[in-house]
């Protein structure tokens, strides 16, 4: 994206934020976290019907559609031009006045202007109007649900009114939401991004969905799942309120926002959505009038996928094309699927000279990422194109068969030996990471020579498995049941990433001197594999027993309230569960990891809770620091903060970060390791690549050259070791303060990925605008991305000006993903 285009989009977003006052309510993860302003003497009670009817429909006006001097009275005429237009069609479609009472919420619906925006702390008239409307709407629903238990309630809101409806729904209990028959949101500032089961997107001029919304100006947010099936969210692409980033200009975005009573193209959405609302209120459920799913829309093609998994792989691949993601040699081969910095390709040093500074993918890393997003786990792992051609497949196609049997989502390969892979789209088109100094692209299948064949992956991603694991060994059989005598479903030709749903004890298997009676069920392959061929403990950590038992080694009692269960034994992860009160929990195993202090005690032991698939600090478990009778998790006593994989065979570790130091453990083959930190030290060369970074392995109390770790030269998200690490890339900056947190995105509401105990020198990749932060009497909305920690820090904690000198702005990014650079 060009700088001018980026600045234009940022300006539109900033203006849209100003239009709707991006305040704490918008930033909060749920409306429950908001402190609402007091409501005056229940003005809503004056207009409620005296008698109960079959239906009670509440219309909530948009900003300025009625002034406070002309309060709303019962009837469609007082619901504003937009909400009233859709509900009038609902009335024509069957919600006549004999069966339905129409009630306009009598809140202010304050018009937006700069006089109404007196501060950014919630004091504006617009924000008070919105918050008061939320409380009023909750009170109306609760009153009618109590007064008329058999009446079906309908909710409809436009713009500020949609904001009111959305936030009120979040505050209602499930029992109260069960009384709602239909919800229609028009231009919701919390409109969800992408395509969901209840969204309707359309083009302003055409009436067709040629692209999708990136979400509302107050942040995309889904409705509660129990109401989504009775709801519709309608957004015209480019609306300054529900899709500000899709707007071509401020003027057009504002024009679109006021056009809902008469749009779009040849389709009268007032009729179609009003009719849907009426049918839903009458108890006639049915699918919303949503467009047909086209996973190839970001590639500019119509793609008809053979199944959901293939379609999702195509969709994720095409999204990266639309983001102008770079090809980068070696990109996409980090510990987890996703774009990474690349390397200089020694066979093409000129074209690849910028690859170490660009986040992106090579061909196999790109395919790995798309299919990982499609099935929900790392299906391919660290594989080259040639190795990906050997993945488990339902069908394999030879070069002689050409493109005739291929379907979208199939992997297609070129070279002898195989050196390139792409995803087939249909109609002779592919999507690929082609070569250095180009973006990901859609190409002609015939544009490559030496076609080698294709595979249709066996993995459908529909199993709902609970964990991702890897096998070892060659020609490993997956069987119809947990026995060596049962038929073979498929054979894994080499080490493979697998999705494990559950495990059980069955026939004992012996291999390489080990015996094990545990078997794992692989839902994507429809069969069983002996755990002896799965990397990990004999009984896999975090995988439930197939009979529903927890597999835990004992039950213990937690204490205190608000205790978090984390995905890893570290406080940096987003909680997978929070105990609001003391709980009885099953503990499977324990390990030493991050030190935690609470109530005057300090402990570095963590317990794994299989029922929650997460970790809790032993400091919150009643008993001694190291729980009696609970085994160590694989004997792992490390304190590292990340899991990575080595590659190669006979890999040495050292007692110091130099090849002349005494040996530590030697890894016979690829091994998963825990890394606590990294630093620059002695330069090592292997396989034509040179690197001076070394990582410390706390489980082995040894060092390993990063050249033998899968991922970039300087590992993403791993901090430097003490003060010994040196900065690379952009010049270092000094961070001040203690307990400063690095966040997953440019907002204090996102998860912390690292905490600085005190001042430190950090490397900054780029900077962007995010949530305003106040510290020491200073406020700043600029945030910087720290590539060594994989997260964001407010510039208020970096020494220098509010907007750092000589640091580029970040280009397109998604929450939680590393940014590109302008």
Same domain, 191 and 72: yes
In the predicted structure, residue 32 carries a pLDDT above the cut 50: no
Distances (CA, A) of 146 to 102, 132, 156, 170, 310: 18, 21, 20, 19, 48
125 and 235 housed in the same domain: yes
How would you class 398 by CB atoms within 10 Å of its CB: exposed for 0-12, middle for 13-18, buried for 19 or more?
Answer: exposed
Residue 429 lies in a domain: yes
Q: What is the pLDDT of residue 292?
A: 55
Q: Which of 16-25, 54-63, 776-785 shows the highest mean pLDDT?
A: 54-63
> Where is the domain boundary, 673, 708, 743?
708
Q: Which of 61-75, 408-422, 782-796, 800-814 has the lowest mean pLDDT?
A: 61-75
Whether pLDDT at 548 is above 90 = no
**Domain closes at, from 457, 479, 500:** 457
Do 524 and 603 belong to one domain?
no
Query: Does 188 fall in a domain?
Result: yes
Q: Is residue 183 part of a domain?
A: yes
- Cα 461 to Cα 497: distance, rounded to the nearest angstrom: 13
Domain with 671, as residue range(s), is 642-708
Question: Comparing 87-91, 620-624, 723-727, 766-770, which segment has the lowest mean pLDDT?
Answer: 723-727
Q: Where are the alpha helices (H) located in 181-333, listed in sequence order?
A: 225-228, 250-257, 269-281, 308-322
717 lies in a domain? no
Q: Return the minimum-mean-pLDDT range out of 574-588, 600-614, 692-706, 737-751.
A: 574-588
Q: 172 with 265, same domain?
A: yes
Residues 317 and 442 in one domain: yes
**Cis peptide leading into 417, omega within 30 of 0?**
yes
pLDDT for the residue numbered 395: 82
Q: Report the mean per-residue pLDDT for the chain.
A: 78
The CATH number that applies at residue 443 is 3.90.1720.10
| Domain identity same for 163 and 36 | yes
Q: Whose CA is closest to 780, among 803, 811, 754? A: 803
pTM for this one?
Answer: 0.38
Contacts of 245 (CB under 8 A, 6+ apart): 9, 12, 13, 214, 215
- Among 586, 620, 654, the domain boundary falls at 620
Q: 135-157, pLDDT tens digit by residue?
A: 999 999 998 998 899 999 999 99
Count Cβ atoms within 10 A of the Cβ of residue 413 and give its class: 0-12 exposed, 13-18 middle, 19 or more buried. Answer: buried
pLDDT at 671 over 80: no
**What percentage of residues in the chain have a pLDDT greater than 90?**
20
pLDDT, position 605: 86
Report d(CA 473, CA 531) in Å as an integer.
12
505 burial via Cβ count (<10 Å: 0-12, 13-18, 19+): middle
Distance between CA 312 and CA 305 in Å, rounded? Answer: 9
The SS3 call for residue 256 is helix
**Residue pLDDT, tens place only, 464-504:** 333 357 777 778 888 888 889 888 888 876 667 677 878 88
Do 252 and 302 reside in the same domain of the chain?
no
For the ranges 230-244, 570-584, 655-669, the lowest mean pLDDT is seen at: 570-584
Does residue 595 carry a pLDDT above 50? yes
Return the top range by mean pLDDT from 215-219, 590-594, 631-635: 215-219
Sign (positive or negative) of CA dihedral 261, 265, 269, 271: positive
Query: What tokens does 525 get?
Result: 């392959």
Look at residue 289 and tell me if it is in a domain.
Answer: no
Residues 222 and 152 in one domain: yes
313 vs 336, residue with greater confidence: 313
The average pLDDT across 661-674 equals: 77
Claim to verify: residue 781 and residue 802 sit in the same structural domain? yes
pLDDT at residue 509 greater than cutoff 60? yes
Q: Are residues 522 and 596 in the same domain?
A: no
One domain for residues 586 and 509: no
Average pLDDT over residues 267-271: 77
Residue 633 placed within a domain: no
Kindly tell me if the per-residue pLDDT of 206 is higher than 90.
Answer: no
Provide the number of structural domains found in the chain: 6
Query: Is residue 693 assigned to a domain?
Result: yes
373-393 confidence digits (pLDDT tens): 887 677 787 788 998 888 777
* Statement to judge: residues 490 and 593 lie in one domain: no
Residue 37's pLDDT is what? 31
Q: Is residue 126 part of a domain?
A: yes
């Amino acid at each position: 994206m060009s700088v001018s285009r980026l600045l234009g989009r940022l300006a539109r977003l900033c203006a849209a934020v100003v239009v709707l006052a991006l305040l704490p309510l918008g930033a909060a993860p749920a409306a429950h976290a908001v402190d609402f302003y007091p409501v005056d003497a229940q003005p809503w009670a004056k207009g409620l019907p005296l008698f109960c009817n079959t239906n009670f429909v509440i219309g909530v006006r948009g900003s300025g559609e009625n002034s406070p001097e002309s309060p709303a009275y019962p009837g469609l005429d007082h619901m504003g031009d937009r909400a009233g237009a859709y509900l009038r069609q609902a009335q024509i479609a069957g919600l006549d006045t004999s069966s339905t009472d129409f009630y306009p919420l009598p809140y202010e619906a304050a018009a937006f202007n700069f006089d109404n925006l007196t501060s950014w702390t919630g004091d504006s008239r617009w924000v008070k109007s919105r918050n008061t409307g939320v409380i009023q709407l909750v009170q109306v629903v609760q009153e009618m649900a109590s007064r008329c238990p058999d009446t079906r309630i309908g909710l409809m809101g436009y713009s500020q009114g949609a904001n009111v409806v959305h936030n009120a729904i979040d505050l209602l209990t499930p029992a109260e939401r069960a009384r709602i028959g239909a919800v229609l949101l028009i231009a919701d500032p919390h409109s969800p991004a992408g395509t969901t089961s209840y969204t309707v997107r359309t083009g302003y001029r055409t009436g067709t969905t040629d692209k999708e919304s990136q979400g509302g100006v107050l942040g995309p947010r889904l409705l509660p799942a129990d109401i989504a099936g009775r709801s519709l969210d309608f957004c015209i692409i480019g609306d300054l309120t529900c899709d500000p980033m899709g707007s071509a200009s401020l003027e057009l975005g504002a024009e679109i926002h006021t056009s809902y009573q008469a749009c779009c193209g040849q389709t009268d959405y007032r009729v179609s959505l009003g009719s849907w609302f009426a049918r839903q209120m009458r108890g006639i459920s049915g699918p919303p009038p949503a467009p047909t799913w086209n996973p190839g829309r970001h590639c500019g093609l119509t793609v008809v996928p053979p199944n959901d998994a293939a379609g999702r792989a195509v969709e994720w691949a095409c999204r990266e094309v639309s983001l102008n993601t770079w090809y980068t040699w070696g990109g996409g081969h980090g510990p987890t699927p996703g774009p990474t910095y690349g390397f200089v390709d020694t066979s093409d040093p000129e074209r690849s000279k910028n690859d170490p500074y660009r986040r992106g993918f090579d061909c196999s890393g790109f395919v790995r990422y798309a299919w990982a997003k499609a099935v929900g786990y790392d299906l391919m792992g660290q594989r080259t194109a040639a190795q990906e051609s050997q993945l488990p497949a339902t069908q394999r196609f030879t070069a002689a068969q050409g493109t005739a049997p291929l379907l979208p989502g199939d992997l297609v390969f070129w070279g002898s030996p195989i050196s390139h892979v792409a995803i087939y789209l249909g109609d002779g088109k592919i999507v690929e990471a082609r070569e250095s100094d180009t973006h990901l692209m859609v190409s002609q299948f015939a544009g490559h020579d030496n076609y080698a064949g294709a595979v249709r992956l066996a993995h459908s991603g529909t199993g709902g498995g609970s964990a991702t694991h890897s096998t070892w060994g060659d020609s490993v059989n997956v069987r119809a049941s947990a026995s060596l005598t049962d038929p073979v479903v498929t054979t894994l030709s080499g080490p493979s990433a697998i999705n494990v749903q559950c495990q059980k004890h069955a026939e004992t298997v012996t291999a390489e001197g080990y015996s094990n009676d545990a078997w794992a069920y692989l839902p994507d392959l429809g069969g069983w594999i002996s755990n002896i061929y799965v990397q990990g403990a004999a009984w896999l950590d975090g995988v439930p027993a197939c009979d529903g038992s927890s597999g835990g080694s004992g039950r213990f009692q937690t204490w205190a309230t608000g205790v978090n269960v984390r995905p890893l034994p570290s406080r940096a992860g987003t909680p997978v569960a929070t105990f609001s009160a003391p709980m009885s929990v099953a503990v499977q195993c324990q390990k030493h990891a991050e030190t935690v202090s609470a109530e005057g005690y300090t402990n570095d032991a963590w317990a794994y809770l299989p029922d929650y698939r997460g970790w809790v600090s032993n400091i919150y478990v009643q008993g001694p620091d190291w729980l009696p009778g609970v085994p160590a998790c694989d004997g792992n006593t490390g304190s590292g903060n990340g899991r990575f994989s080595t590659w190669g065979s006979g890999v040495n570790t050292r007692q110091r970060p130099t090849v002349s130091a005494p040996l530590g453990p030697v890894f016979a083959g690829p091994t998963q390791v825990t890394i606590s930190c990294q630093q620059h030290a002695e330069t090592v060369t292997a396989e034509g690549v040179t690197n001076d970074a070394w990582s410390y392995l706390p489980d082995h109390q040894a060092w390993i050259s990063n050249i033998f770790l899968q991922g970039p030269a300087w590992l993403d998200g791993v901090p430097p070791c003490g003060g010994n690490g040196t900065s690379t890339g952009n010049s270092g900056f000094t961070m001040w303060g203690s307990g400063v947190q690095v966040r997953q995105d440019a907002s204090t509401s996102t998860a912390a990925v690292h905490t600085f105990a005190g001042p430190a020198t950090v490397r900054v990749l780029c900077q962007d605008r995010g949530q305003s932060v106040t510290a020491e009497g200073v406020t700043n909305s600029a945030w910087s991305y720290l590539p060594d920690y994989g997260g964001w820090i407010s510039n208020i904690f970096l020494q220098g000006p509010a907007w750092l000198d000589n640091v580029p702005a970040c280009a397109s990014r998604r929450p939680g993903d590393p940014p590109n650079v302008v």
